[in-house]
Amino acid sequence: MTDTSSAKVTASDNRPKGLSGLVEDWSSDQRAFKNVSWRKAMMWIFLLSDTFIFSIFLLSYMTARMSTKVGWPNASEVFSLHIGHTNFPLLLIAIMTFVLISSSGTMVLAVNYGYRKNRNLTAIMLLVTALLGATFVGMQIFEWTKLISEGVRPWGNPMGAPQFGGIFFMITGFHGTHVSIGVIFLLVMALKVWRGDYDKQTPGYFTSRKGEYECVEIMGLYWHFVDLVWVFIFAFFYLW
């Protein structure tokens, strides 16, 4: 028996396209999303739910920022790096963002090599992605340490509105946790690819369904999502 959850088993290909295709799919039996495997559907729905979490975090941040009586700390000063004798506003964060975006690039490569069943390159690309992710988290730790050493605390800070520290640590921390969890999963996945689990279709632990190279793509969905969320956090914290 082959794996049922795989995308390989296809529905008939001569379905109508566009809107009428959508209606057709949803009024059909068996599957509403034709050719979408269970796990991919699950990841998309999870990401939708997670989107709500991050949106609500950011909305709360905006509310706090707009209703506070004390001025909000100036982003280009608070987040600047002092190197030599000059201040580089947003330098660190620019590097962090660059690193994270690059990791999305390597993730795409991993997915691509995965579908070509190139075990070694897939594993390497996953490792590189994990490494870039870990670098991001490392730089975030550095940033946190720097802010803490400058007196930023969850309950207050010398630069302005006391909510700044709490909101900043909470939201970047929540995002950093997402990245860290992603890094762990990337490492596990790299190991599995390297061992050839996806060629042998060894069942995954969480899903108890047969492993496939599609899992790399689903990991990629999560990773790109975390990346996209960062873009919003970046815009709202560092550019506003």
Partner 1 sequence: MAEIENDSLPILPPAELEEVELYHATNFWTKYVFSQDAKIIAIQYSGVAIAVGLVALVLSSLIRLQLGFPEMFDFITPETYYQFVTMHGMIMVVYLLTALFLGGFGNYLIPLMIGARDMAFPYVNMLSFWIYFLAVLVLVASFFVPGGPTGAGWTLYPPQAILSGTPGGQGLGIILMLLSLALFIIGFTMGGLNYVVTVLQMRTRGMTMMRLPLTVWGIFTATVLALLAFPALLVATVMMLFDRLLETSFFMPSLVEFGDHLSYGGGSPILFQHLFWFFGHPEVYIVALPAFGIVSDLISTHARKNIFGYRMMVWAIVGIGALSFIVWAHHMYVSGMHPYFGFFFATTTLIIAVPTALKVYNWILTLWNGNIHLTTPMLFSLGFIVTFLNGGLTGLFLGNVIVDIPLSDTMFVVAHFHMVMGVAPILVIFGAIYHWYPKVAGRMLDERLGQIHFWVTFVGSYLIFFPMHYIGLVGVPRRYPELGDAAFIPDSVATLNSFISLAAFTVGIAQILFLYNLFRSLRKGQPSGHNPWRATTLEWQTAQTPPGHGNFGPELPLVYRWPYDYSVPGASEDFLAQNDPAQIAKGGSA
Residues in contact with partner 1, counted by CB under 8 A, come to a total of: 55
Q: How far apart are CA 193 and CA 110, in angstroms?
A: 10
Write each residue from 160 to 179 as x if it is in contact with partner 1 (CB under 8 A), else as -, in one continuous string. Answer: -xxx-xxx--x---x-----
By CB atoms closer than 10 A (0-12, 13-18, 19+), residue 139 is middle
DSSP 154: T
Q: How far is the CB of 15 from partner 1 (least distance, A)?
A: 11
Selected from 20, 63, 76, 87, the binder of partner 1 by CB under 8 A is 63
Interface with partner 1, residue 185, by CB under 8 A: no
DSSP 153: B
Paired residues of 32 in beta bridges: none
How far is residue 181 CA from its own chain's centroid? 9
Q: How far is the CB of 45 from partner 1 (least distance, A)?
A: 5
The window from 42-50, 85-93, 114-122, 216-224 that contacts partner 1 (CB under 8 A) reads 42-50
Nearer to partner 1, 133 or 165 (CB): 165
Q: Record the tokens describing residue 190, joined without a space.
A: 């790299």
Instruction: Determine if residue 150 is left, alpha or beta; phi over 0 gives left, psi from -120 to 50 gives alpha, anything else beta.
Output: alpha
Question: Which residues in this chain contact partner 1 in the complex, by CB under 8 A?
Answer: 1-5, 9-12, 26-34, 36, 38-39, 41-42, 45-46, 48-50, 52-53, 56-57, 60, 63-64, 67-70, 154-155, 161-163, 165-167, 170, 174, 205-210
